[in-house]
Structure 1
Amino acid sequence: MKAYRLNQLSDITEGHILNEILPGKYISYGGLAFEKPGARAHTNDGPGGIDYHVHEDCEAFIILQGQGTVEINKQLFHPVRAGDVIIIEPGEDHHLTSGIEDPIVVLWCHAGPERNKNQL
């Protein structure tokens, strides 16, 4: 896992906004999640319902609102808040937990060598 603040990103004139920290020429897919207070993402997502969630590529979380924690490989690793950019490395088991008092809104995305199929 790598952590940044939005204001650490350089002024981008070409490519995607995360191109210096998220490998891949194009943002290839992603979404916006409005998490419930205390919700833990990807709980029991693994094969056979085991508590395991990984990717073969990097994933970015951009915290747009609220606060919470990121759990990496079964350890509460990092508190997050609005303005944080978290890069999950390939193979890291990861879960984002939303704060109780200030639930999280997160933009998540992956980048790759091709544009999203909707842009072709």
Structure 2
Amino acid sequence: MKKLRFSDLQDKKNGHILQDVLPGAYLSSGGLSFAKRGDRSHTNDGPEGRDYHVHGDCEAFLILQGTGTMEMNGEHIPVTTGDIVIIEPGEDHHLNSSEDDPIVTVWCHAGPNRHKNQQQEDAV
């Protein structure tokens, strides 16, 4: 896991804003998440309902509002507005929202291809 701040990002005119910390030419999937108070992401996601959530690629979490912890392999690392967390392949991770200041995040993956909605359709 890598943790940095929005202010650590280099100004970009081309490519995606996270290209220095998130491998891949294009942002290829992601979303905006509004966590409930005390919510824990990916609970019971693993095989047979176990609390285990990993990816084969990197994932970025941009903390837009609120506070919480990023649970990495059982360890809780505090996160707050303005943090960017990069999850490495194979790291078991869960985002925990605080009770007092629920967390809002953008999460994304990058890869060699654009998101399916941005790809050119085959010519007819």
Structure-2-length-normalised TM-score: 0.95
User: Counterparts of 1:11 and 1:106 in 2: how far apart (Å)?
Assistant: 21
Partner of 1:102: 101
Kindly provide the amino acid, as one letter, of the partner of residue 51 in structure 1.
Answer: D
Task: Structure 2 unaligned segments of length 5 or more: list them.
Answer: 120-124
What count of residue pairs does the alignment treat as equivalent? Answer: 119
Percent identity between matched residues is 63
**Which aligned pairs between 1:3-42 and structure 2 lie closer than 5 A?**
3-42=3-42
AA matched with 1:107 = V
- Looking at structure 2, the residues matched to 111 and 72 of structure 1 have their Cα atoms a distance apart, in angstroms, of 20
Distance apart, 1:88 and its partner CA:
0.2
**Corresponding residue for residue 2 of structure 2:** 2
Does structure 1 residue 50 correspond to structure 2 residue 42? no
Q: Which runs of 4+ in 1 moved over 2 A?
A: none
Which structure 1 segments of 5+ residues have no match? Answer: none
> How high is the TM-score relative to the length of structure 1?
0.98
Structure 1 residue identity aligned to 2:107? W
Measure how far apart 1:52 and its partner are.
Answer: 0.2
